Amino acid sequence: GIQVEQSPPDLILQEGANSTLRCNFSDSVNNLQWFHQNPWGQLINLFYIPSGTKQNGRLSATTVATERYSLLYISSSQTTDSGVYFCAVSTPTLQGAQKLVFGQGTRLTINP
Amino acid sequence: GAVVSQHPSRVICKSGTSVKIECRSLDFQATTMFWYRQFPKQSLMLMATSNEGSKATYEQGVEKDKFLINHASLTLSTLTVTSAHPEDSSFYICSARAGGGSYEQYFGPGTRLTVT
């Protein structure tokens, strides 16, 4: 099956810093999503980005499908950005179920 | 839009009992729902895919007789953990896909199950 690798596994920054999170995947995808898991466990949809570039406030994401990677950029980090960031992808299955495969996540800690 | 709810958010039960978790899509019809399990400090692992009106498809290693899934309508899927044991204690999360041209999934807030 498809493999998803996220880097770095842990990232500690000071408030105000910028960060780049990376997601590599091993096969063609038709879905790529970035999530932020908050301390209560809720997965918050950040981007649905199987290809191209999107921006939402201080966050932006780029997926280069031909090179099989995606990047999540966080600018001017705030303490509320702390948490685990997951990348998840899906590739067509025989049944067309579009199952999401998650990376292991990047744990981001923003210190005041 | 695209809100998914789960109930209960937290449940404690005794070994040998069964627990039912509900997953609802509140503002869209979900042709496909998914159930995931997450252990502390780990990633999400897909347990099963649920399609409305048909049997669920379970991932390898997931016991279908232990984790019963029913997707009776386009807005509701249920996961029943039967004869629960302490090793079933985990965080269970559902997601839903609206279908059509988008593959985007929306996740519920999760249910923390503790089996004593």
Q: Give chain B positions within 8 Å (CB) of A90.
A: 103
CA distance A33 to B94: 16
Q: Give chain B positions within 8 Å (CB) of A31.
A: 103-105
pLDDT tens, position by position, A57-72:
999 999 999 999 999 9
What is the CB neighbour count within 10 angstroms for residue A15?
A: 13
Q: Indicate whether A46 pLDDT > 80.
A: yes
Is any Cβ of chain A less than 8 angstroms from the Cβ of B31? no
A96 pLDDT band, cuts 50/70/90, is very low
Q: Name the minimum distance, in Å, from the CA of A52 to any CA of chain B.
A: 15
Is any Cβ of chain B less than 8 angstroms from the Cβ of A28? no
Q: Name the minimum distance, in Å, from the CA of A28 to any CA of chain B.
A: 14
Chain B's closest residue to A47, CA to CA, is: B104
CB A44 within 8 A of CB A108: no
> Which residues of chain B from 73 to 112 reach within 8 Å of chain A, CB to CB?
91, 93, 95, 97, 102-107, 109-110, 112
pLDDT tens, position by position, B76-107:
999 999 999 999 999 999 999 877 777 889 99
CB contact under 8 A, B105 and A100: yes
pLDDT score recorded for residue B100: 72
Peptide bond into A112 cis (omega under 30): no
CB contact under 8 A, B32 and A97: yes
Burial class (CB in 10 A: 0-12, 13-18, 19+), A41: middle
User: Hey, CA dihedral for A3, A8, A9, A14, is it positive or negative?
Assistant: negative
